[in-house]
Amino acid sequence: MSGRRGRSSAPEVVPPAEFTSYYGRPVLHEPTWKALDIAGYLFLGGLAGGSSLVAAGAQLTGRRRLTRVAKVGSTVAAGLSLVALVHDLGRPERFLHMLRMVKPTSPMSVGSWVLAVYAPTSAVATALDLAGRLPVLGALATGGTAALAPALASYTAALVGDTAVPAWHDGHREMPFVFVSSAGASAAGWALLFAPSSEAEPARRLGIVAAVAELASSRVMEQRMGMVGDAFGTGRAKRWRTASTALLAVGTLGALAAGRRRRPLARAAGAALLAGSACTRFAVFEAGRESARDPRYTVVPQRRRLDAQTSRPVSGVMPARTW
């Protein structure tokens, strides 16, 4: 058989023209998930998890107003994320099918259980705090949500990584760190937005650290994906990514400049961090869709892997198309 793929001597450069597909059709099916539901779910899960940890820290250090703000944030986010999930399923009773079994090979199964326990516990913690009743039970519920929070904030990285979608799967090493830093930034943003400046200092520090980590881990992830990282610089993903970068940078600088005293600036920084974190999730979601839609992202890395294994001789012949 004649080779159809001319290759340059530098193996890391794979021009888009050098691959074959079936009429340019995708190999994979694009995820059928709706962007607002599922990218929104990724964001809300992070916000809930991060806020529960902030609530626990605030309660332990006697910051009562920050505690309340964070608890309300976690419960609102958990409730909305359940709404998003159920909306994506189409019919509410279908969520119950998630609870037929516990399946460690399915991050969605694991996540459904985490959320099914977390959401009511968080609601109890918040309700008791608002009512000022049963402090021991409230503390137990707060501790319970804080124990589940790291799992809630991070498992969605395995959820998207555990697919054949190139821009999701190929990021599976760094995605957990992108997602938890995004969770931290959003929770800090929420707290800066609504908590009084006398108690918001931990949130300000967390926001700065998390936003910088989010920016850095996102870049590392895209770099390590190689050509698949191009999906983040294409179409909708590119716009979300640009917005996310700008908002996180503004949020970080704002939080730095605000210090302990400048309340309006701290609030604005909080809003920017919250929005930037959401944009990161939408960028990941859209990059995944783009990478599933374009067969290049599926075929080229696999073909290169295969050719490296079989060390097929390189041919200089390169017809334009096979059809």
Residues 165-204 that bind other proteins (CB under 8 A): 165, 168-169, 172-173, 176-177, 179-181, 183-184, 187-188, 201-203
Binding-site member from 53, 128, 250, 273 for other proteins (CB under 8 A): 53
Q: Taking contact as CB under 8 A, which single stretch among the options 8-16, 99-107, 225-233, 274-282 is the one that binds other proteins?
A: 99-107
Q: Give the separation between CA 129 and CA 143, rounded to whole angstroms.
A: 13
Binding-site member from 94, 130, 242, 257 for other proteins (CB under 8 A): 94
Binding-site member from 44, 123, 210, 221 for other proteins (CB under 8 A): 210
Q: Give the separation between CA 76 and CA 189, rounded to whole angstroms.
A: 15
Binding-site member from 18, 80, 95, 120 for other proteins (CB under 8 A): 95
CB atoms < 10 A from the CB of 223, how many? 10
Q: Which is nearer to other proteins, 133 or 312 (CB)?
A: 312
Q: What DSSP letter does each residue of 37-70 carry, written as one string?
A: HHHHHHHHHHHHHHHHHHHHHHHHTT-HHHHHHH
Q: Which is nearer to other proteins, 94 or 224 (CB)?
A: 94
Binding-site member from 42, 54, 141, 275 for other proteins (CB under 8 A): 54
Q: Which is nearer to other proteins, 165 or 271 (CB)?
A: 165
| Residue ranges in 110-139 that form contacts with other proteins under rule CB under 8 A | 112
Q: Which is nearer to other proteins, 95 or 243 (CB)?
A: 95
Is residue 43 near other proteins by the rule CB under 8 A?
no
Is residue 27 near other proteins by the rule CB under 8 A?
yes
Is residue 311 near other proteins by the rule CB under 8 A?
no
Find where tokens 């881990």 sit.
217
| Residue ranges in 63-92 that form contacts with other proteins under rule CB under 8 A | 63, 88-91
268 touches 247 (CB < 8 A):
no
The least distance separating other proteins from the CB of residue 142, rounded to whole angstroms, comes to 13
| Residue ranges in 246-275 that form contacts with other proteins under rule CB under 8 A | none
Find where tokens 């090493």 sit.
173
Q: Which is nearer to other proteins, 131 or 309 (CB)?
A: 309
128 touches 134 (CB < 8 A):
yes
21 touches 287 (CB < 8 A):
no
Q: Which is nearer to other proteins, 93 or 131 (CB)?
A: 93
Which residues 6+ apart lie within 8 Å of 198 measured at CB?
none
Q: Taking contact as CB under 8 A, which single stretch among the options 6-14, 95-103, 237-245, 275-283 is the one that binds other proteins?
A: 95-103
Q: What DSSP letter does each residue of 209-220 carry, written as one string?
A: HHHHHHHHHHHH
- Is 230 exposed, middle or buried, given 0-12, 13-18 or 19+ CB atoms closer than 10 A? buried
Q: Taking contact as CB under 8 A, which single stretch among the options 1-9, 117-125, 232-240, 242-250 is the one that binds other proteins?
A: 1-9
163 touches 29 (CB < 8 A):
no
Q: Give the separation between CA 318 and CA 20, rounded to whole angstroms.
A: 11
Q: Give the separation between CA 37 and CA 82, rounded to whole angstroms.
A: 10
Per DSSP, the three-state class of 285 is helix
Is residue 288 near other proteins by the rule CB under 8 A?
yes
State the DSSP code for 111. Answer: H
Is residue 313 near other proteins by the rule CB under 8 A?
no
Is residue 153 near other proteins by the rule CB under 8 A?
yes
Is residue 164 near other proteins by the rule CB under 8 A?
yes
